[in-house]
Amino acid sequence: MRCFARGRRSAAALAAGLLMAAGAAIVLPVSPAQALNNGVARTPPMGWNSWNTFGCNINETLIRQMADAIVNSGMRDLGYKYVVVDDCWMNSTRDAQGNLQANPSRFPSGMKALGDYLHARGLLFGIYQAPLDRTCAQYFGSYPGATGAQGHEVQDARQFAAWGVDYLKYDWCSPSGTINDQVARFAIMRDALAATGRPIVYSINSNSIHAKTGPQRNWGDVANIWRTTEDITNAWNTGQTNGYPMGIQNIINVNVPLAGYAAPGSFNDPDMMEVGRGGMNDTEMRSHFAMWAIMASPLIAGNDIRNMDAATQTILKNQNLIAINQDTLGRQATQVSFDGTRRILAKPLANGDVAVALFNQGGSTTTISTTAAAIGKSGSSFTLRDAWTNATSTTTGAISASVPAHGTVVYRVSGSSTSPTATPTPPTPTPPTSPPASGNCQVTYAVSGQWSGGFQGDVTIRNTGTSAINGWTLRWSFANGQQLNQAWNTSYTQSGTQVTATNVAYNGAISPGASVSFGFIASWTGSNTTPTAFTLNGSPCALG
């Protein structure tokens, strides 16, 4: 929601457009080592956030009532633990020592007391702040002050820890700054939170009134959860690609191809839920929840928990879907197939089961079919549990359902075994024709996402030598027809098939044993084989 009019940037972010391209999305899981390893969000966080329903109109009585309702409705015991106080909780000025303060008329008992209230009820405490000079409401002038964290990061992190904060939502909300600026600044708060010693879920948003950088990289090195889109609204389809405001279908289009980034400790965040807020029919509300669940998205309710109708409770309290979402493998469903109407997603689960979503994006009822083999199960006898009806059925392999317009049928498929082909695989890299070169560095090159006409590459350079590398330039040759269009954490040129990637200001030095990573989006025609030879500062670099 917005409580204020705001000019929006055009939604023409190149990467989002590429990621939206029709066709099957194939995304590999990243190495879990890249995920933020701060001990929290090992499964997607669940809870409630004040913004979608209340915007700036919040106070401590409201938050306490909501906390009580979360407990009394049974939602806490189903996993909805984080109660997140969004924008507009703060006083418009810091105190004489530069500390953030609660707005004294809205939160007269103070934020520590609110945290205590939540903790006493078995809940966890979330709060909002912004990395630049102003929060989003302050940016738009709908709330007074300029109390952003810039220059106060360590102080604010300590303040949050002292208040008992368990979750920080950190919201860029400015058109300025490159993606590299964002990475660097978000990392300052990541490190400040870590330095407090308190486990705090770190939730970031890089997209508000900014070029949509959320889908452009794997932010798992920076945050536990990261918004992939502009703000959600309670509508099925607003026609946006990635611009304000986003409907459920629009968000799904952006979020599905990013599946490979999800891992315990780091998840794509398609925004707080609109379940129970009107604007959609029951089928659409169910699809919204089912797709968030299978996409391993944070399940942060945004409705008024004090006044939920039965249909809303049925959705938010669906234990089959919550179990799929909270599965300890921490995988986001990958796309099995998509014909423009029928989208099939599969999520491998820790016990060998696979959850499959049959999602009808079209405007009329249709039959959607797949097979156990296509979703990574092998064998000849399976049980399907329907996540909505809880009914079970058996099959020798066919998985099929009649699905209403905008509906989603979810089955948990068990039996026989999970084949090693559970995850669709990208093009097989051509093996090197000569032994890897040796030297003082090692390169890993991964295609972390691919769609029709484009792919995303993630590159890591490790210093395997004994002295520091001060400034780096990595070169490789693309296959014919591959063209690098956009990159982050590096500056690049491409001449013919020759690509040159050079460090940016903040990541030029690589100490012995350390590594730096960068990523890019490229288009391709013809061959999509991966490069096999790299040089770093003119010398061969081993391919890891």
Q: Which residues bind ligand GLA (CB under 6 A)?
A: 51, 86-87, 128, 135-137, 171, 173, 205, 208, 231
Nearer to ligand GLA, 166 or 171 (CB): 171
Using only the alpha carbons of the chain, give its radius of gyration. Answer: 23
Contact by Cβ (8 Å): 94, 100? yes
Q: Retrieve residue 165's tokens.
A: 């904060």
Residue 211: CB minimum distance to ligand GLA, A: 15
d(CA 316, CA 299): 9
Q: In what order do the strands lie in the sheet with 299-301?
A: 267-269, 225-227, 201-205, 167-171, 124-129, 82-85, 46-49, 299-301
Q: What sign has the CA pseudo-torsion 37, 39, 44, 47?
A: negative
Residue 49: CB minimum distance to ligand GLA, A: 8
**Amino acid letter for position 158:** R
User: Which residue sits closest to ligand GLA, CB atoms considered?
Assistant: 136
Nearer to ligand GLA, 51 or 520 (CB): 51
Nearest 10 degrees: Cα torsion 254, 208, 269, 149: 150
Residue 303: CB minimum distance to ligand GLA, A: 15
Peptide bond into 245 cis (omega under 30): yes
* Active site members: 171, 231
**Amino acid letter for position 251:** I
Closest residue by Cα to residue 36 from 254, 237, 215, 191: 191
Nearer to ligand GLA, 128 or 219 (CB): 128
d(CA 49, CA 166): 14
Nearest 10 degrees: Cα torsion 28, 31, 37, 42: 40
Residue 56: CB minimum distance to ligand GLA, A: 7
Nearer to ligand GLA, 51 or 117 (CB): 51
Residue 140: CB minimum distance to ligand GLA, A: 8
| Range list of H helices, 272-414 | 282-294, 310-316, 319-325
Residue 141: CB minimum distance to ligand GLA, A: 12
Angstrom CA distances, 533 to 24, 460, 475, stand at 29, 14, 8
Residue 128: CB minimum distance to ligand GLA, A: 6
By the 10 Å C-beta count (0-12 exposed, 13-18 middle, 19+ buried), 468 is classed as exposed
Q: Please calculate the CA angle 131-296-14 and round it to the nearest 5 degrees.
A: 60
**Amino acid letter for position 492:** Y
List b or e across 14-39, with b for residues whose CB sees 16 or more CB atoms inside 10 angstroms: ebbebbbeebbbbbbbbeeebbbebe
Name the pairing type of β-strands 534-536 and 498-502.
unpaired
Contact by Cβ (8 Å): 372, 408? no
Name the pairing type of β-strands 441-451 and 454-463.
antiparallel
Closest residue by Cα to residue 382 from 346, 411, 414: 414
Residue 177: CB minimum distance to ligand GLA, A: 15
Residue 105: CB minimum distance to ligand GLA, A: 19
Nearer to ligand GLA, 159 or 206 (CB): 206
Residue 137: CB minimum distance to ligand GLA, A: 4
Q: Is 330 left (phi over 0), alpha (psi -120 to 50) or beta?
A: left
Nearer to ligand GLA, 148 or 260 (CB): 148
Angstrom CA distances, 138 to 89, 132, 145, 258, 277, stand at 12, 11, 6, 31, 25
Nearer to ligand GLA, 205 or 216 (CB): 205
